């Protein structure tokens, strides 16, 4: 049942002083709204309980990013587009910058605000784990004045916070002391964007003399609130990263999180994914020993940044197979590190046309074959692309003939149904697992299948970009 507009009142006093005065005079009566992305969903569903709304959208006092010597101060009214466009956020707080790219589509990023995300208090919000690992503090304002609160203390239960009825979140403060940390962020969902997370993670780590000197880990969608894994961090600190520590860390994380079954996923799946993401973070942190990896990556990117447009396009094309994607990546130069490269790739891929994405699909070999499916393409695959395809499908090469025949038959059925080749990120998957995925996806409708294929190609591209950065 849709809401009736006559049941609601909304005002826009236009200044922060007027708004906090209104909240002080009638505490709990007026509900502040900024971009309104969550409010409109509730309104459209007939579930918006608040009847009196006061707009805090576009207030100058809430819309700036201030850079000081020891911290940056992000106004609570800053949108995710503002965060994406901030040079200092991208350089010093890449986990928050990347989460801003995941939060909805472009329209939502233009309206959704960091303060609204915090106050909405969803445990699945993409940006909140990053705030936890960066030791964010909130400035809360009311007619009584300002108070500063560690963000880690803000959430007290599902959709419950320490925000008083007469208060607003005015700003988010981030200390500028994490530039030497290795950062890791991942979101697992039905899609990479415009989908609520099944699990999301933000993590920072630093090694010294081969052991973990400091580590900071936060997860979303695994508890009633965005969760900092403090006990797991204690388990990891002071130890060398090896298989034994990975096992200990997974066990510690499983004891801290409290995932549930819901419409998006199951508790069992969330727990397994959380452990795998934690292990992936620690493995990558280990590979950052002595900064050698970052130095090599920066050197490769610096060389690529200096190439001509045509040379740079040809160099990066094997990572995806879409000429439009490669040209889009070249247009985003200079790119300084892996995080910037991967973020640019995700953004470029998301904005491609369906025909550009299908070009990438066609430049892969069919599962179980070695040559690209589109034999008529004027774009011949590079030696690097052929090599990577062979690596990705090495488990299939050793399969028995019966399984290969089953794959070939399923490939043919898939192409008749969807007029495209079957795309799956085969890295690390067994032959039986791939065949099972293929048969499941044959039941998809065309739109759902295009979404799945698009996400699989995104994963393949990300893996190949990391290989490309290895030189």
Supply the CATH number for residue 413's domain: 1.10.3330.10
Q: What is the dihedral of CA 30, 35, 39, 41, to 10 degrees?
A: 170
Q: Where are the alpha helices (DSSP H) in 257-353?
A: 267-287, 292-306, 309-316, 323-331, 338-350
- Out of 287, 309, 329, a domain closes at 287
Do 91 and 161 share a domain, yes or no? yes
> Taking residues 271-300, what's their average pLDDT?
82
| Averaged pLDDT, 284-304 | 77
More confident residue, 22 or 102: 22
Pair (264, 198) in one structural domain:
yes
Start-end of H helices in 162-264 = 230-236, 243-256
Token digits of residue 366 = 């069919």
pLDDT at 376: 47
- pLDDT score of 315: 93
In the sheet with 199-208, reading across from the earlier edge strand, the strands are 182-188, 199-208, 211-220, 227-228
* Same domain flag for 351 and 215: no
Q: Mean per-residue pLDDT for 204-212?
A: 88
Tokens of 433: 């697992």
Domain edge (last residue) among 225, 259, 287: 287
pLDDT-derived band of residue 467, with 50, 70 and 90 as boundaries?
A: confident
Tell whether the model's pLDDT for residue 402 goes beyond 90.
no
- Residue 134 and residue 6 in one domain: yes
Averaged pLDDT for residues 266-271: 92
Helix 354-362 with 446-468: angle, nearest 10 deg: 60
Residue 377: its pLDDT value, please? 45
Query: Based on the structure, what is the number of domains in the chain?
Result: 3
Do 359 and 442 lie in a common domain?
yes
Same domain, residue pair 332 and 248: no
pLDDT category at 372 given cuts 50, 70, 90 is low
Are both 302 and 326 inside the same structural domain? yes
Contacts of 184 (CB under 8 A, 6+ apart): 95, 201, 202, 203, 204, 205, 280, 281, 284, 285
The residue among 287, 306, 323 that closes a domain is: 287
* Chain mean position to CA 342: 11
**CATH number assigned to the domain comprising residue 22:** 3.30.465.10
pLDDT for 97: 95
A 10 A CB-CB count for 414 gives: 21
Q: What is the dihedral of CA 409, 412, 413, 419, to 10 degrees?
A: 170
Q: Which domain holds residue 35?
A: 1-178
In terms of domains, do 88 and 170 share one? yes
Whether 305 shows a pLDDT value over 90: the answer reads: yes
**246 confidence band (pLDDT: 50, 70, 90):** very high
Rounded average pLDDT over 234-262: 94
DSSP 387-432: HHHHHHTHHHHTS-HHHHHHHHHHHHHHHHHHSS------TT--HH
Q: Are residues 384 and 418 in the same domain?
A: yes
Average pLDDT in the chain: 88
pTM of the predicted model over 0.85:
no
Query: What sign does the CA torsion over 433, 435, 436, 441 have?
Result: positive
**Same-domain status, 456 and 439:** yes
pLDDT band per the 50, 70, 90 thresholds, residue 51: confident
Q: Which residues are 149's β-sheet partners? A: 138
**CA of residue 26 relative to chain centroid, distance:** 39
- 245, 354: one domain: no
Q: pLDDT at position 41, please?
A: 76
Least confident interval from 107-116, 184-193, 235-244, 365-374 = 365-374
246: left (phi over 0), alpha (psi -120 to 50) or beta: alpha
pLDDT in tens, 152-187: 999 999 999 999 999 999 999 999 999 889 999 999
Q: With a cut of 70, say whether residue 371 has pLDDT above it.
A: no
Question: How far apart are alpha carbons 25 and 142 in whole angstroms?
Answer: 11
The CATH number that applies at residue 242 is 3.30.390.50
DSSP reduced 3-state for 353: coil
pLDDT at 247 over 90: yes
Please state the rounded mean pLDDT for residues 80-89: 93
pLDDT above 50 (res 378): no
290 has pLDDT over 60: no
- Which of 2-11, 194-203, 318-327, 388-397 tops mean pLDDT? 318-327
> Quick one: 100 and 115 in the same domain?
yes
Q: Find the range with the poorest average confidence among 65-74, 129-138, 296-305.
A: 296-305
Write down the pLDDT at residue 191: 58
Quote the pLDDT of residue 349. Answer: 92
């Amino acid at each position: 049942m849709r809401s009736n507009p006559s049941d609601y009142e909304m005002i826009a006093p236009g200044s922060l002083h007027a708004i906090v005065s209104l909240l002080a005079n009638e505490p709990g009566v007026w509900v502040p709204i900024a971009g309104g992305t969550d409010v409109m969903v509730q309104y459209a569903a007939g579930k918006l309980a608040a009847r009196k709304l006061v707009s805090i959208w576009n207030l100058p006092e809430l819309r700036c990013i201030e850079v000081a010597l020891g911290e940056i101060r992000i106004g609570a009214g800053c949108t995710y587009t503002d965060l994406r466009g901030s040079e200092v956020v991208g350089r010093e707080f890449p986990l928050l910058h990347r989460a801003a790219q995941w939060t909805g589509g472009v329209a939502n990023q233009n309206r959704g605000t960091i303060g609204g995300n915090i106050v909405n208090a969803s445990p699945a919000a993409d940006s909140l784990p990053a705030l936890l690992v960066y030791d964010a503090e909130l400035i809360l304002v009311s007619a009584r004045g300002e108070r500063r609160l560690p963000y880690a203390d803000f959430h007290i239960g599902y959709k419950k916070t320490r925000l008083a009825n007469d208060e607003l979140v005015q700003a988010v403060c981030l200390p500028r002391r994490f530039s030497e940390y290795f950062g890791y962020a991942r979101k697992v969902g039905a899609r990479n964007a415009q989908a609520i997370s099944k699990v999301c993670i933000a993590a920072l780590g630093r090694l010294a003399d081969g052991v973990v000197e400091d580590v900071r880990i936060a997860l979303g969608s695994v508890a009633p609130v965005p969760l900092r894994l403090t006990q797991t961090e204690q388990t990891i600190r002071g130890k060398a990263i090896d298989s034994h520590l990975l096992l200990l860390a997974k066990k510690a994380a499983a004891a801290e999180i409290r995932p549930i079954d819901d419409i998006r996923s199951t508790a069992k799946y969330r727990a397994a994914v959380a452990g795998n993401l934690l292990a992936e973070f620690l493995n990558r942190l280990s590979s950052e020993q002595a900064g050698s990896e970052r130095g090599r990556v920066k050197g490769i990117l610096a060389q690529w940044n200096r190439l001509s447009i045509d040379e740079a396009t040809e160099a990066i094309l094997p990572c995806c197979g879409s000429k439009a994607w490669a040209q889009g990546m070249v247009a985003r130069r200079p790119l300084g590190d892996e995080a910037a490269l991967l973020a640019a790739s995700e953004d470029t891929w998301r904005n491609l046309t369906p025909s550009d994405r299908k070009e990438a699909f066609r430049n892969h070999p069919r599962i179980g074959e070695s040559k690209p499916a589109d034999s008529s393409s004027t774009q011949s695959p590079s030696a690097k692309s052929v090599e990577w395809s062979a690596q990705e499908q090495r488990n299939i090469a050793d399969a028995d003939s019966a399984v290969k025949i089953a794959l070939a038959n399923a490939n043919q059925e898939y192409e008749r149904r969807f007029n495209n080749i079957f795309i799956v990120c085969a890295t690390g998957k067994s032959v039986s697992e791939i065949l099972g995925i293929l048969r499941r996806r044959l039941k998809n409708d065309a739109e759902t299948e295009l979404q799945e294929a698009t996400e699989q190609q995104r994963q393949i591209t990300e893996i190949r970009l990391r290989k490309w950065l290895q030189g």
